[in-house]
Each structure stands twice: as structure tokens, then as C-alpha cells.
Structure 1
Amino acid sequence: MAASQRLAEIFGRRRFAIRPGTERISGLLARLDHPERAFSSIHVVGTNGKGSTASFLAAMLTAAGCRTGLFTSPHLISYHERFQIDGALIAQDALERMLDRVLAVAAPEDTFFELTTALACCWFAENGVTVAVLEAGMGGRSDATAAVPALCTLITPVSRDHSQWLGETTAAIAAEKAAIAEAGTPLLSARQEPAVLAVLAEQCALRGQELLLCGRNFDVARRGDGSLCYRDADIRLEGLVPGLVGNYQSGNAALAIAGARSVARQLGLPLTGEQIRRGIAAARWPGRMELIRLDGGGRLLLDGAHNPAGAVALAEALREYQATRITLLLGLMEDKDIDGILGALGPLAQIIVTVEPRQERALSAQRLAEFCEQRGIPVLVGGTVPEGVAAARARTGVGDLLVAAGSLFVVGEVKAALAGQVCEAVRG
């Protein structure tokens, strides 16, 4: 079977949409002779900041000499992006071999994300990975990654998103996400609102888990020069310079450092301050506060910002940029909190160019423009993402900032359009 046919088959499993539960993935891993048992794992769950935290964590473990796998989702342009070992993406021949292996034993009902998770496990096992950092998909206890046992769980800030599957309150969402952690293993958390903290404390008490909190057991301070100071009960590190920009990355970096230190203790892995420093600086996460210089003197900033919390974080970051004019290229999925996102980002943009990503859940560019008009926000209907990019760039000159946000699907299509590549981005 040709590579394109293999990918078409696995992408075609999206027709099953989101189907929570670990029974299918557990059966699939069993038919693959349990590749997930060949390495240790770390779960990264939460609402915002999962990918950045996972990237920081993997980079530190690699800097410490640990052969480290990284599994993330979604990808921006190419399916290969989901699978990394020590910062290197899976090669085409390896991907084809893994696709053959997984599809050969896949059941008809296995979903896209389940097959993708199993593929990552097979590749990590085959390549002698010591520790794999696994970014959960949407959920926690019912996420496909939950079928992989982990040494510890990191939970990034929790906010309302995917409420139709996870719950209507942050407490309910936190309970679902944190339940991925196995009894007796440490749970490390970013700063959270009181309702979320109460859920985490209750769960850890019931399941015999150690709860380590940012602001209590470890913390971070941002210096005037943008560097970070991390501290916990045993160490203090000054002058950390994150490879990822944005004030909100401070908390992600702190959570990742605490997680790396927890895993190092469990595995007996030496992790020095210098290795932490190198890993924090080496972390890269495309499409998240990624700044690109445009021809003509303008700048393009890419960020997902697909929910109100993410939009608020982006808005805070935008205030640091010296821009004559901000044009916002915005595309959203129809199930998102449009009011919350527009409320955070709308006041900062001189004009919003609305676009419609090539996804079945995408809100039409025309409908999004109507939401903007109802709020008195100057708006232009951009159409498809490439059409919107062209329209927005025509309005971006020297000293201006073009911001593409609202969905990682938008970010992926923008990057593909600028590079002249075909975007393979899919949900899940």
C-alpha cells in the first residue's frame, strides 16, 4: 500500500469522531504486543499550555542524556510532527513501517487518535526510548494516552473547553483530566483556580498521590530582562532563558522543571542545573507565539488562542509588542466560546480578517464576521485561510503586526500557505 493510501486510511478514521474510553486502545496495544511497556512515560494534561510544557520537559530530559520521545497533537502541517525522539521528527520510511504495523492489526472501530497513539508507542519502543512525554488529547481518564502507564502527571492550567465531553464547570473538567494519573504516582499542577485545586487535592488524598503545586512546592519569578528564576525546596536557578516566548510560558517552564526533577528522582537520572538551563533554552514549539518577519517590514505572530483563557494570554503578550497597527487573522471552530475570544482580542485589533479553516467544525468566515460586526469590531471577510492571508498581508506594512489565531488549524494553514506546502492538518 502506498504511503498516501496508508495516511488516507488513518485520516479516514476521523469519521468515528471523538469516542471516549480506553477499551479500544488497550485492545490495540495488546495486539501490538504492548509496546507501551518498553519505556517509561509522563502524562501532560490540561486545557492550555500542554504542548509548550511537554516541549520544555522533553528538551530538558534530552539535555540530561536521556533518550526522550515526545508525542503531541494536533500537528500543524505534517502528520510527522506528532512524533519526535530527541527533537527529531519521525522519518518517512519509519512512519510507513509503523503505519503498516498498526493498520495490520487495527479493528474497524479504532479511531484516528487511538491509531496515532499506538503508532507513537511502537516507534518509541523500536527506537529504545527511555522516557516518553505524552501530551493528552482532549481528555484525561478516557483519553487514548491513558492506556499508557506513567511515572507522573503534569496538569497545566484548566479552563472551560470541550464542555460537551468534559463537563460544564472547571471542577468537572479538572476531575476528568486529572483522573488519567495512576494511584500512587505524583501529580504536579500549574497555578489553578480554587475550585480546580480542591478537586486535585481530593483526588490525590483518595488515591494516595503526592500533590505538588506551583506557588507552594515550586515557583517561578520573571525578571525584568525576561529571564526566569525557578525554585523549589532543594534548588534555586537564576537566569533561565526560555526558548518559547510569552509571559505565560513562565508557568509552563516551572511545571516542566518540577516534572523533570520528579522523573529524574524516580529513574535515578542525574539532572543538573546546567542541563535544565540548556533544555529550557532549547525548547521549540512551532505555531505558539511564533514570530515571523514578512517581506515589506511587517511581522506575523502565530498563536492558537482557541479558547478564552488562551485569548487572554495572547492579549497580554500582545501588549509587549510595539506595533503601529494590529491586524487579526481569525478563524474559529463552531463549538468555541466566540464571545470570550472576541472579548479578549477584539479591542486590540484595528481590523479582524475572518477566515474558515478546512475543517468540518469550522465556523464560516461570514458568520464570524457577523459576530464581529455585532460587537462593533471593524471586520473584513477573508474567506479561506490562504485568501485571508493575502488580504491581511496587503494591510500589513512597516511597524505593523499581523496576528493569526483562533485555532491551531488556522496556524497550520497559514504556515503551509507561506511555505507553499500542502497542509495535512486534521482534528485529533
Structure 2
Amino acid sequence: MERLSALWEELVARTDYERCQRPRAARFSLESMAGLCGRLGFEPSSRVEGCFEAPAKVIHLAGSKGKGSTAHFMERGLRAAGFRVGLYTSPHLETWRERIQVNGEWVSETALISAISKVLNESDGEETFFDLLTAAAFVSFREADCDFWILETGLGGRFDSTNVLATEAAVVTSIELEHTDVLGDTLEAIAAEKAGILKSTAQCWSALEPQHPAVPVLSEKSESLGQKLIHLSSAEPFALPEGFPYEGAIMRKNFQLAQAVLSGLGVPVHAMQPLPPEEWVLPGRFEVRQLDDGREVVLDVAHSAESLAATLQAFRKAWPDVNRAVLFALRDDKIPSRLAAELGELAPRPEGEDWFVLPAGDHPRSASPESLAAPFSATPLCTMEFPKTPTVFLVTGSTYLVGALRPQTTLAPQPV
């Protein structure tokens, strides 16, 4: 473990745009990542200029929200159909090892040491942290002989480190005004960045509503590649597995998207139906846990206005007549007053619901609790602790806050 920890520290010593204090647009290029893939022995693609071929089928996802959940649902569906699957997601909740999985398990310590060592040996020093970690995932999946690789973008799409492989499916789950300092300040500009993952080799999918202003951007990009954009809204709906644990429309839509994409690739999605309900429970996605004193805690990584509103509504519906509290954090690239106004319209706050604002874990780009207190009429907390009086909590707004508080909780007893 000491060797793996030392390698991780060597990775994070590189430029880390997830935690960087300076403007994250300071350096975005695929040149270093492409050079690294070449030195690691990945073959240049004859199908997509400037890309490489993976020894597997690759599914690539981008989006303002929903891409992580959809990726996890796809991974479970492929395993149920008998395939060996590599899954690469970001950010993590509690440990970075969550990000690189093979067949639903963290890649072993030995395999990770081997993969990261190979990557660092081939590094020319110009790559970022995310370049190196992404390359380590590629090497891990190659060494594990995975049939499918599922890759979630870290930010945007066009210049994301994951965007160097020819793919079989490219999926845009949603587009909202987020990371505007890097991706642009209009939905159309953000769509152009995320459309960068669309490839001439790939089925191009959109889960946006047809009237969304970003759809023409995605459609035009698909057509320029000789592909027709496939809309989830026009795909044949699939049945949800019995006991599917999510009642909210967003998670159900993400599951439908996962099934539709897999079906389009010829995967027998009927294999997903017999899986037990607990197989579909995802960490940090309306995940119900509890404190040592028995009080319930709902953990949800929602961070956009629409997903936060849906999470708040589901929380209030599930616990209507108890002393509820919302523990909330944001990164400093959000505009608190605008988000608070949007939530006021989408999910008006009922009387008697207490809000507390905290730092986003130890993230250096966390918005200060003091800056969030007034817009959200919340009590600022400077320590990562649960208040004493509320009966049930919702922890949301930031993946980093969810990750920081989750270790204080345990699995809630499941109803018999």
C-alpha cells in the first residue's frame, strides 16, 4: 500500500484541474495525452484521425449531470450479459481507487501499481494529473482483457483526457450552464465542447429533450461525422427491473438511457431484469444511510439546479412530517444567488426545513459557508459534522461534501 500511495502522490503533484486554484482554462490540449498513449503502445486508429484503438468496445459519456449514474447502470448491464467491463469515472467519493474498476471491483493494488508505473515511465513530464490517471485506467483495462470500456469525461469533452479513443457509442446525457469559466457561458457553447466526444465510428446519443437549445449543435456535429443523432425520447422504452430503487424521474431516465445505448450495440438488455434491487443502488445517488444514533442520512451528489430540485422534492416526499435538514455545499464556480433563485422556483422550500452550509470537503475551490448563508437562508457550519437536532438529513450540492460526510454514516437497515 505504501508503494501505491507514493505513486498516487506522484500523480497529484502534476497539474490537477479538479483542484486547481488558478483558472482551469490555463491548459487544455490532447497533445500530451495522445503522445502518452502512443508511447504506451496503443495503436493509432485507422477509423478516426488523431485517435487510438482500444482492444475493446468503448462507450464514452459526457454531460452536465447523469453521466456517472448512466455509466454505472451500463456497467452492471454489461456484466449481467456476460461481458468483462472496465469502468472509469470521476470524481470519487471517498477514495481515488473508486475511479478505476473492472467487473464491479476496484482494480487490485498490484495491477494499479503496475499500470501507474508504466504510465509514469512513459511520461514526458508534460501531462496533467488527469492525463496520467486516465492513461493508467486504459492500461489497467487492457491488461485485464476487458470486452467493454466505459469512460466518463472529467470536464467538457472536446479536450478531455478521455477523448483520445475511437468509440462505438458516444452519449451526451444533459447540458446545463456549468463550468462556464472553461466551457462557455451559453448552452450552445457548452454543447459544442461536449459534442467533441461524438465520433464517426460511434452511435451518437442524446438524452436531451428535443426542444433543448443545445440539440441543433449536437445534431449538426453528428451529421458532419456521417451519423444521425439518436434521441432517447424517440427510442423504444424498456421495462425497469422489479424493485428498481429509484422513484425519481432523472434516475429512471438515466437507466432507460443505459438500456437504450446497450441495446443499440446489440447487448441483450433483458439480462438486466433479474438483477436484485440492491444491485442498482449507487453510492451518493439518493443513497440512504444512517448515523450511529439511528438518524437517517440521504446522500446525493446533485449539483445542478434541475437535479437539486428533483432531489429536494424526493427527499421531502419520502420524509414529509419530520424535522428535516439539508446540508449543502458548492464549489466557487457556482453563482449562489442564481442557483438559490432557480431552486426557489423549481422546489420552493417549505417551512420548518433547516438548511446548513458547509465547506465542500477539503476542496480548495469550495465556496465559503459564509458566502452561501444569505442566498440559501442557511446556518454556516465550519466543521464537517452533523447538527444535533434534525431527525433526517439530505447531504447534497457537492460530490466532495458527500464524500467527506459519508464515512460518518453506515448502511441503513433494509426493509424485509
Residue 324 of structure 2: aligned partner: 326
Q: Give unpaired runs (5+ residues) of structure 2.
A: 44-52, 411-416
Residue among 120, 124, 128 paired with 1:107: 124
Using the TM superposition, name which of 78-87 and 277-286 deviates more. Answer: 277-286
* Bigger shift: residues 28-37 or 4-13: 28-37
Counterpart pick for 1:405 among 372, 396, 411? 396
Task: Give the match for residue 354 of structure 1.
Answer: 357
> Residues of 2 paired with 1:99 and 1:279: CA distance?
35
Of 27, 39, 42 in structure 2, the residue corresponding to residue 34 of structure 1 is 42
For 1:184 and 1:280, the matched residues in 2 are separated by 34
State the secondary structure of the residue aligned to 2:163. helix
Structure 1 partner of 2:50: none
Question: What is the deviation of 1:73?
Answer: 0.2
Q: Give 1:69 deviation, angstroms.
A: 0.8
Preserved CA contact (<8 Å) 2:240 2:273: no
State the partner residue of 1:382.
381
Give a deviation string over 1:34-80, Cα, whole Å, max 9, x none: 18622221001111111100011111011000111110000111111
Find the counterpart in structure 2 of residue 226 from structure 1: none
- 1:131 paired residue among 117, 126, 148: 148
Q: Determine if contact 2:287/2:298 at 8 Å carries over to the other structure.
A: yes
Give 1:21's aligned residue. 29
TM-score, normalization: structure 1?
0.84
- Of 83, 100, 112, 2:100 maps to 83
Aligned to 2:221: 203
Moved more, 318-327 or 11-20: 11-20
Name the SS of the counterpart of 1:150 in structure 2. Answer: coil
- TM-score under structure 2 normalisation? 0.86
Output the amino acid matched with 1:204. Answer: S
Q: Match for residue 116 of structure 1?
A: 133
User: Which residue of 2 is the match for residue 252 of structure 1?
Assistant: 254
Which amino acid counterpart does residue 126 of structure 1 have in structure 2?
E
Quote how far apart the aligned CAs of 1:322 are. Answer: 2.1
Partner of 1:316: helix, strand, or coil? helix
Structure 1 residues 54-63 or 237-246, which shifts more?
Answer: 237-246
Instruction: Output the amino acid matched with 1:75.
Output: H
Instruction: Kindly indicate whether the alpha-carbon contact (under 8 Å) linking 1:60 and 1:276 is maintained by their aligned counterparts in 2.
Output: no
CA offset at residue 254 of structure 1? 1.0
Q: Provide the rounded CA distance (Å) in 2 between the counterparts of 1:98 and 1:58.
A: 21
Match of 2:172 in 1: 155
Residue identity in the other structure for 1:354: V
- Please identify, of 121-130 and 203-212, the stretch whose mean Cα deviation from structure 2 is larger: 203-212
Going from structure 1 to structure 2, the CA distance change for 1:136 and 1:243 (only over 3 Å counts) comes to farther
Distance between the aligned counterparts of 2:303 and 2:37, measured in 1? 32
2:306 aligned partner = 309
- CA RMSD in angstroms comes to 2.2
Matches within 5 A, 1:279-298: 282-298=279-295
Q: Relative to structure 1, is the Cα distance of residues 118 and 367 closer, same or farther in structure 2, using a 3 angstrom cutoff?
A: same
Number of the residue aligned with 1:341: 339
Any unmatched runs of 5+ in structure 1?
220-229, 231-236, 420-428
Give the CA deviation at 1:82: 0.2
Q: How far apart, in 1, do the equivalents of 2:129 and 2:83 lie?
A: 29
Instruction: Tell me if structure 2 keeps the 8 A contact 1:140–1:176.
Output: yes
Matched position secondary structure for 2:356: strand
Give the match's secondary structure for 1:188.
strand
Q: Secondary structure at the match of 1:301?
A: strand
Deviates more, 1:146-155 or 1:198-207: 198-207
CA distance in 2, matches of 1:416, 1:150: 36
1:264-300: per-residue Cα shift (whole Å, max 9, x none)? 2xxxx5x152435539872342111111133444210
Residue 70 (structure 1) aligns with = 87
1:414 alignment partner AA? L
Identify which range, 193-202 or 11-20, moves more after superposition: 11-20
- For residue 197 of structure 2, give the secondary structure of its aligned residue in structure 1: coil
Shift in alpha-carbon separation, 1:238–1:138, aligned structure 2, 3 A: closer
Q: Within 2, Cα distance between the matches of 1:260 and 1:276? A: 14
Contact 2:291–2:408 (Cα < 8 Å) also in 1:
no
Which structure 2 residues correspond to residues 219-258 of structure 1 after superposition, within 5 A? 219=237, 230=238, 237=239, 240-244=242-246, 246-258=248-260
Following superposition, the deviation at residue 191 of structure 1 comes to 3.1
State which drifts further: 278-287 or 313-322: 278-287
Deviation (angstroms), 1:184: 4.5
Residues 197-234 of structure 1 show CA distances to partners (whole Å, capped at 9, x for unaligned) of 22222222222113211221334xxxxxxxxxx2xxxx
Q: Determine if contact 2:246/2:252 at 8 Å carries over to the other structure.
A: no
Match of 2:233 among 209, 215, 226: 215
Shift of 1:364: 1.3
Q: Partners in 1 of 2:339 and 2:274 — Cα distance? A: 34
- Secondary structure (helix, strand or coil) at the match of 1:129 reads coil
Q: Give the aligned residue type for 2:357.
A: T
Distance in structure 2 (CA, Å) of the matches to 1:38 and 1:244: 34
**Mean CA deviation greater in 13-22 or 135-144:** 13-22
Q: How far did 1:194 drift?
A: 2.6
Paired amino acid for 1:203: K
Provide the secondary structure at the position in 1 that maps to 2:382.
strand
Q: Which has the higher helix share?
A: 1
Residue 11 of structure 2 corresponds to residue 10 of structure 1: yes
Q: Name the % identity.
A: 29
Q: Distance in 2 between matches of 1:198 and 1:172?
A: 12
Deviation of 1:380 after TM superposition, in Å, equals 2.1
Asked if 1 retains the 8 angstrom alpha-carbon contact of 2:326 and 2:354, the reply is yes
Task: State the AA in 1 paired with 2:396.
Answer: A
Aligned partner of 2:368 in structure 1 is: 364
- The answer to whether the 8 Å contact 1:245/1:289 transfers is no
| In structure 1, C-alpha distance between the alignment counterparts of 2:157 and 2:329, rounded to whole Å | 26
Q: How many matched pairs?
A: 385
